[in-house]
Structure 1
């Protein structure tokens, strides 16, 4: 057992939840003698000190600095200082900062004394008139709509009386969600409890939602609603025990079957071996002379030791035996396509794509039908004499010479014959 230090004390003191007269005499005595008061909001702590004329100094501890500042407070307690932890309203630590400080104090063996006081949860539970010997407090629900609905759906199956807490500006959202999940469930809403102007509301969630929609309220409140009428704690426990029993039996059956399979050395699962189609597939595409995918007498793709795509010796891909290939790394830097010089030249001094031996043009037939691109006239010639001239006089000439498409002396189409 850890030995507690006599001089090291941390008091957890409850403060009023609304009515200032609810602070206990014991709480006042403790707050007067401690060295420092740890509060969540310094402004509220200062009002408490001023109202009761305390001399203790204030130490602010909240969710923003608790992790870093709590160890320093523990060190001061170990040196003999006494502290009192208070909340803005009600009991500290419950839905408030201070839990991390409490854990550090427990680990350090510091003496901890709780001073009870007013509680909004117990006040609302007793005032509601619902069953209070067995109840559950769900605290603050999620801020997001979807998660809030999911939580209420789970709480709707709860057989015990349930208590909900929420911030003053989120009453309407909470009632709207409860109205969707359990509109006919009886509920109680206690507003501004312990105050002289406190008020209370009873009805189903559907009725309460309509009431507060018509008359909005912004202030402190607590919601209490009845448990599920068709469920009890014993029925839930019995259902849980049955589920555990079924799960245990299923696990035992699986273990027994596994042990049986291991004892008989049988595999737990048999797999069918896929047949090997590789030989059949290769023989299907293989020709009689050992080549693959033969297409014609000379032009084919051969994939065995004879004709293949060569990539290393000359830096080209060889496709047949007649020298028709794409050369990539020759000194000329071009792709050669045939033996007669018909190729695309890329790095010559002329900087053009040459496709035949003379004239630098694309040749299309033997009779001179071609497109000439680099002649001094700068035109596209189509056949002997028939062309479109573009740059000598800025026009397209069509009728100086006759083209193969012309059918009369004027260079126009012959008239249609009428039948």
Structure 2
């Protein structure tokens, strides 16, 4: 396998080390240098796989300054790999400025496919996946967070956020304030790891569930929010729950009709919501 002078974007596992690809290992072994978000963190991965390639730190605070030195290496015919602490580089991680400068300098940027927490979580969420928007981390401050959520109130696509354990309850509180307690939310934590958890519920119920056990707010988190649906957002949680339960024994169309009779809501709205939720 050839690693000509190029910048290789190399995804690394988000938890399970077996998720690294054979191609990623080959590139990491053969490049001249690996630029790491945190050399100590990545060093554990490299040690596990017996990779002895030279490394250097490249993070938010030094990326602009170090980009030129990496371009100089490319000019000398060397190849460079970029890794983040976990997952695909540049997805809420450093690398944007480096990639921009390398492309502007005329050198190839070669992306490798691999792990990404956002898409891994989405495919198991049960939320619409044909269209989605990745929003990264919500702001740390309440007002800024509320402003972002307000701007997304009528977003017609599934919304994906990364969140930290120490802020997830505050973020859900603000989401409930802006989008209402009935908005469907799916939390995926510790994806690919031993304590992987994927929990979906109306926002109010999900927050209450998290508060029942401190362990549920630990680890890396992906928060996915159902898209705005004018009819579905107005449906009571009880009607949605009844429909979901009935779907265990009945076709969706029949379940929606029965739940509509029980709760006095429109069956078409329940049916549409059930289709989008994968019931």
| TM, length-normalised to structure 2 | 0.78
- Give 1:80 deviation, angstroms: 1.0
| Structural mapping, 1:235-254, within 5 Å | none
Contact 1:45–1:58 (8 Å) recurs in 2: no
1:26 maps to which residue?
23
Q: 1:12 aligns with which of 9, 14, 17?
A: 9
Q: Does 1:94 align with 2:91?
A: yes
SS of structure 1 residue aligned to 2:15: coil
Distance 1:207 1:7 in 2: 53
Q: 1:41 aligns with which of 38, 43, 54?
A: 38
- CA displacement, residues 95-119 of structure 1 (integer Å, 9 cap, x when unaligned): 1111111111101111211111011
1:81 maps to which residue?
78
1:135 maps to which residue?
132
Distance 1:180 1:167 in 2: 19
The alignment's C-alpha RMSD in Å is 1.6
Q: Does 1:72 align with 2:86?
A: no
- CA displacement, residues 125-179 of structure 1 (integer Å, 9 cap, x when unaligned): 1111111111111111111101111111221211111111112321111111112
1:278 maps to which residue?
none
5+ residue gaps, structure 2: 232-279
SS of structure 2 residue aligned to 1:103: helix
Distance 1:150 1:108 in 2: 38
Higher mean alpha-carbon deviation, 56-65 vs 167-176, is at: 167-176
1:188 maps to which residue?
186
Distance 1:122 1:223 in 2: 12
Contact 1:169–1:219 (8 Å) recurs in 2: no
- Give 1:81 deviation, angstroms: 1.0
Distance 1:110 1:164 in 2: 32
1:366 maps to which residue?
none
1:154 maps to which residue?
151
- CA displacement, residues 47-77 of structure 1 (integer Å, 9 cap, x when unaligned): 1221111121011101111121111111111
Q: 1:197 aligns with which of 192, 195, 198?
A: 195
Distance 1:54 1:64 in 2: 26
Equivalenced residues, count: 227
- Give 1:7 deviation, angstroms: 4.2
Distance 1:126 1:49 in 2: 29
Contact 1:166–1:221 (8 Å) recurs in 2: yes
1:230 maps to which residue?
230
5+ residue gaps, structure 1: 1-5, 232-419
Distance 1:102 1:183 in 2: 41
SS of structure 2 residue aligned to 1:55: coil
SS of structure 2 residue aligned to 1:223: strand
The one of the two structures with greater contact order (alpha-carbon pairs below 8 A, sep at least 6) is 2
| TM, length-normalised to structure 1 | 0.53
- CA displacement, residues 15-43 of structure 1 (integer Å, 9 cap, x when unaligned): 01111110001101111111111101011
Decide which structure has the larger Cα Rg and report it.
Answer: 1
